[in-house]
Amino acid sequence: MIAESIHITRTPVTLRPDQARVLLRPFNPGGVRRIERIVARILALPEGQVAPLLSEVLTEFSGRHQKIGDIFLERFEHVHKLLSLDGTLSEPRKLLIGSYFVSEYSLESAALFNPSIVPHPDQSGVPANGLRFILSLRATGEGHLSSITFRTGMIYPDGRIEVTNASGYLGEPRQIPTPLYEKALFSRKLQELGLTNAFTGRTIDRLGQSFNLDELCCRVEEELQRAFERDGVNGNAETAEAMWRLAESNYEVQFRPEQELSERIIFPTAPSQRNGIEDARFVSFQNEDGTSVYYATFTAYDGRVVMPGLMETADFLRFRFITLNGPAAQNKGMALFPRKINGLYAMISRQDNENLYLVFSDNVHFWYDPKLILAPAFPWEIVQIGNCGSPIETDAGWLVLSHGVGPVRQYSIGAFLLDKDDPSKVIGRLREPLLKPTEAERRGYVPNVVYTCGALVHGGQLIVPYAYADHATSFATVPLDEVLGAMR
């Protein structure tokens, strides 16, 4: 049952997974010996056969990928370094070798879901009282591997919502070769991970106030060698590996400016993301100096451990990935408030798979001392509650969308209200769901689920992009005053 005083409008806009959207990814068919055998067979081909074979490959796949020749050459260079190939090879043969070490991956073959929505940084040309937005989505493909994809759209003055058709091309960003790490911040993260010891202390002491990955690796290798010469054993290998993993989980990437937003794919690359990047909750964060930046909390999964992380971008071209640390940086569903409160960052989080907590911090990367603010209370949320995106500031207080799990593991979307000056105080709550699955929305990858990772308010309407059945994405709108008026 949904409160009678709330009038939900489901829009006809629906985004479904498209198996034709494919990304070229590195293909590693085996160890070095097998790669050697594959390359040897290609090198044995007569030169007159190479160009026709390459032409056939390019004819078949160039229409599916931009700059495919550059990707083939990049993979050839990787194989070249791996095998230390001798001799001068023709350009066509290099391209042909590279083509054997890539494969297509269908990003959203299984699902396109769990959206969040934020205002686009470029509002030029938007009609009066309209809004251009960016929609982030979780795309899931083969092996249940999740990545982050994007769409753009418009909310028109009459309330109509339109999402721009996605480009047929997909591309990954380039990793910034030498991201800089702050010594104080890196040391604090080592301490949070329980890695502070004599070995890490000596290594960090020999680094500057900022350093890159190459400098860190060099210092680590030197300390490993010194420890071996001094003690005759190497007992610091696991610590060294953990330091590398931490550094590799904090990195920056850059997309090409000419890539449309729907062509930009954030694919799992760091060790902590090996099994996917899930449920990005984007928010336009207002700094105290009047500037703004986009943050997104997300969940990284390596197949064993769930690790919350933070993305940061000003333009959706360059992204910085940062690990979140501290005893409160755990579990899924962390969502950042869109500004500081009383000089502190604030986050809604779920610490125990059942309840919602509030956490404050003076550093966006570190989170301590969670305070319980909300527990399951109504039949539709008895199993657990969690947040559905960053809090939205209204005149009445902070509006937070929540999810509740009830009978037959049905997920519904609810809402509650926090005091604007003291968000530890819950001042309103919906007794019934705001949105629950219709009969048509029950069928999909995971039945009986509606879920969102972030909504916004525009023109007096609460705009809620939502996923259903962990499969596809649609939109619902509801007058904000009706939601606030139904709070108890």
DSSP secondary structure string, 208-233?
Answer: -SEE-HHHHHHHHHHHHHHHHHHHSS
Q: How far apart are CA 476 and CA 462, in angstroms?
A: 8
Whether residues 244 and 325 share a domain: the answer is: no
State how far the Cα of 420 lies from the Cα of 413, in Å rounded to an integer.
22
CB atoms within 10 A of CB 163: 19
Is residue 27 in a domain?
yes
What the block records as the tokens of 68 is 């495919």
Question: Look-up: residue for tokens 């139904």?
Answer: 486
- How confident is the prediction for the chain on average, in pLDDT? 93
Q: Phi-psi bin for 459: left (phi > 0), alpha (psi -120 to 50), beta?
A: left
The model's pTM is 0.92
Check which CATH number belongs to the domain holding 355 and give it.
2.115.10.20
Same domain, 192 and 302: no
**Same-domain status, 122 and 232:** no
Report if residue 146 sits inside a domain.
yes
| The pLDDT value given to residue 9 | 97
Question: Is 99 found in the same domain as 41?
Answer: yes
DSSP conformation letters of 113-163: EEEEEEE-S--TTPPTT-EEEEEEEEEE-GGG-EEEEEEEEEE-TTS-EEE
Residue 1 lies in a domain: no
Does residue 3 sit within a domain? no
* Residue 119 within a domain: yes
Same domain, 416 and 451: yes
Please report the pLDDT score of residue 232 as a whole number: 66
d(CA 240, CA 220): 6
Whole domain around residue 44: which residue ranges? 22-106
The residue from 106, 121, 153 where one domain ends is 106
Q: Choose among 283, 44, 24, 10: nearest CA to 172.
A: 24
- Whether 98 and 226 share a structural domain: no
Q: Are 358 and 347 in contact (CB under 8 A)?
A: yes
Q: Please tell me the distance from the alpha carbon of residue 160 to that of residue 165, in angstroms, as a whole number.
A: 16
CA atoms within 13 A on the CB side of 100: 21
| Boundary residue ending a domain (202, 227, 248) | 248
**Residue-level pLDDT at 1:** 58
Q: Quick: pLDDT tens for 16-60.
A: 999 999 999 999 998 899 999 999 999 999 999 999 999 999 999
Same domain, 96 and 221: no
Mean pLDDT by 10 residues, the chain (488 residues): 80 96 94 94 96 97 94 94 82 96 95 98 96 98 94 97 95 83 87 85 93 90 85 76 84 93 93 87 96 95 81 96 88 93 96 95 94 97 96 98 97 98 97 96 94 98 98 97 94
Last residue of a domain, one of 63, 81, 106: 106
Q: Reduce the DSSP state of residue 58 to 3 states and report it.
A: helix
**Number of separate domains in the chain:** 3
End-to-end CA distance of the chain: 16
How many alpha carbons lie under 13 Å from residue 105 in its C-beta half-sphere? 22
Specify the pairing of strand 371-374 against strand 384-387: unpaired
pLDDT in the model for residue 326: 87
**Same structural domain, 268 and 135:** yes
The C-alpha angle with vertex 355 and arms to 383 and 282, in degrees rounded to 5, equals 105
Whether residue 213 is found in the same domain as residue 85:
no
Bridge partners (DSSP) of residue 274 are none
Same domain, 208 and 151: no
265-279 burial: b if 16+ Cβ within 10 Å, else e = bbbbbbebbebbbbb
Residue that the structure tokens 């890695």 belong to: 195
CA distance 452 to 404: 12
**Strand boundaries in 302-454, DSSP class E:** 306-313, 318-323, 335-336, 345-349, 356-361, 371-374, 384-387, 392-394, 397-405, 411-418, 426-429, 450-451
Q: What is the pLDDT of residues 396-411, one digit of tens each?
A: 999 999 999 999 999 9
User: Are both 67 and 96 inside the same structural domain?
Assistant: yes
Q: Are residues 313 and 257 in the same domain?
A: yes
- Determine the pLDDT at residue 346: 98
pLDDT for res 315: 97
**Interatomic CA distance for residues 235 and 245, integer angstroms:** 18
Question: Is residue 467 a part of any domain in this protein?
Answer: yes
Flag whether 157 is in a domain.
Answer: yes
